[in-house]
Amino acid sequence: MKIRTLCVVSLLGLSLSVACDSKKDEKKAEDKKAESKDAKKPEEKKAEGGGGADKVDAAAKAEPAKDEPAKAEPAAAGKLALDKLGLTASAPAETTVSDGIGGKGAMIMGPGLVVSVEEASETRPKDVAAAKKDAEMYTPQNLKDEKLDDGWVVTFDNKGDMGANYFVNVRRDIAGKSIWCETTVASPEQAATALDFCKSLAAK
pLDDT class of 102 with cuts at 50, 70, 90: confident
Cα–Cα dist 199/204, whole Å = 15
Q: What is the pLDDT of residue 55?
A: 43
Nearest to 201 by CA among 86, 77, 76, 75: 86
- Counting residues of the chain whose pLDDT is more than 70, the rounded percentage is 62
Instruction: Say which residues have a Cβ less than 8 Å from residue 166's Cβ, sequence separation at least 6.
Output: 155, 157, 184, 185, 186, 187, 188, 190, 191
- Residue 47, Cβ neighbours under 10 Å: how many? 14
Q: What does the pLDDT average to over 66-82?
A: 61
Instruction: Say which residues have a Cβ less than 8 Å from residue 23's Cβ, sequence separation at least 6.
Output: none
Q: What is the pLDDT of residues 183-192, one digit of tens each?
A: 999 999 999 9
Indicate if the alpha-carbon torsion angle 179, 184, 188, 193 is positive or negative. Answer: negative
Residue scoring higher pLDDT (115 or 23): 115
Q: State in Å, rounded, how far the first CA of the chain is from the last one.
A: 137
Q: What is the mean pLDDT of the chain?
A: 77
Cα–Cα dist 149/172, whole Å = 9
Cα–Cα dist 170/165, whole Å = 17
Q: What is the pLDDT of residue 47?
A: 43
Q: What is the pLDDT of residue 7?
A: 36
Q: What is the pLDDT of residue 103?
A: 86
- Counting residues of the chain whose pLDDT is more than 90, the rounded percentage is 59
pTM of the entire predicted model: 0.63
Residue scoring higher pLDDT (124 or 70): 124
How would DSSP label each residue in 132-166? HHHHGGG--EEEEEEEETTEEEEEEEEEETTEEEE
* Length, in residues, of the chain: 204
